[in-house]
């Protein structure tokens, strides 16, 4: 006759008592658990510190790059202003052999009363 089948409640009580003994922590197990928790928290702190240092370095590099680009933008704006200056344009035109138009060479056309759709388009 199998006694285990006759007393299932008693068997469950014994199993519950055995499980409780596995879960109780004595001094050594508590110390090991605390050391593992401390090691995990240290790893987390180390990972966060490394990430923040990396982000700080990337931020510093981006600030340097921004300063270089702003300086380059300023230089290009200065070149554009110099290229668009009237004196510079006049000097380049004179160097190319051009001269200002005289009053008798100027022609003005009044198109205020002309329909723009009637003007034929010239294709090159």
**Which pLDDT tens digit goes with each residue over 98-118?**
988 888 888 888 878 888 777
Number of domains in the chain: 1
Query: Which of these, 11, 14, 17, lies nearest to 2 by C-alpha position?
Result: 11
pLDDT of 3? 53
The answer to pTM > 0.85 is no
Residue 114 forms part of a structural domain = no
Q: Are 82 and 88 in contact (CB under 8 A)?
A: yes
Residue 59 forms part of a structural domain = yes
Across 57-82, average pLDDT: 95
Range of 12's domain? 8-98
Q: Which residue has the higher pLDDT, 6 or 27?
A: 27
- The torsion angle over the Cα atoms of residues 37, 43, 47 and 49, rounded to 10 degrees, is 90
Residue 69 forms part of a structural domain = yes
């Amino acid at each position: 006759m199998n006694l285990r089948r006759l007393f299932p409640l008693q068997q469950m009580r014994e199993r519950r008592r055995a499980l409780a003994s596995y879960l109780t922590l004595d001094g050594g197990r508590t110390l090991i658990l605390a050391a593992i928790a401390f090691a995990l928290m240290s790893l987390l702190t180390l990972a966060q510190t490394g990430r923040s240092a990396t982000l700080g370095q990337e931020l510093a590099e981006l600030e340097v790059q921004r300063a270089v680009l702003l300086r380059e933008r300023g230089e290009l704006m200065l070149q554009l202003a110099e290229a668009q200056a009237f004196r510079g344009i006049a000097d380049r035109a004179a160097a190319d052999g051009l001269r200002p138009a005289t009053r008798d060479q100027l022609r003005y056309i009044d198109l205020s009363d002309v329909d723009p759709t009637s003007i034929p388009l010239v294709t090159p």
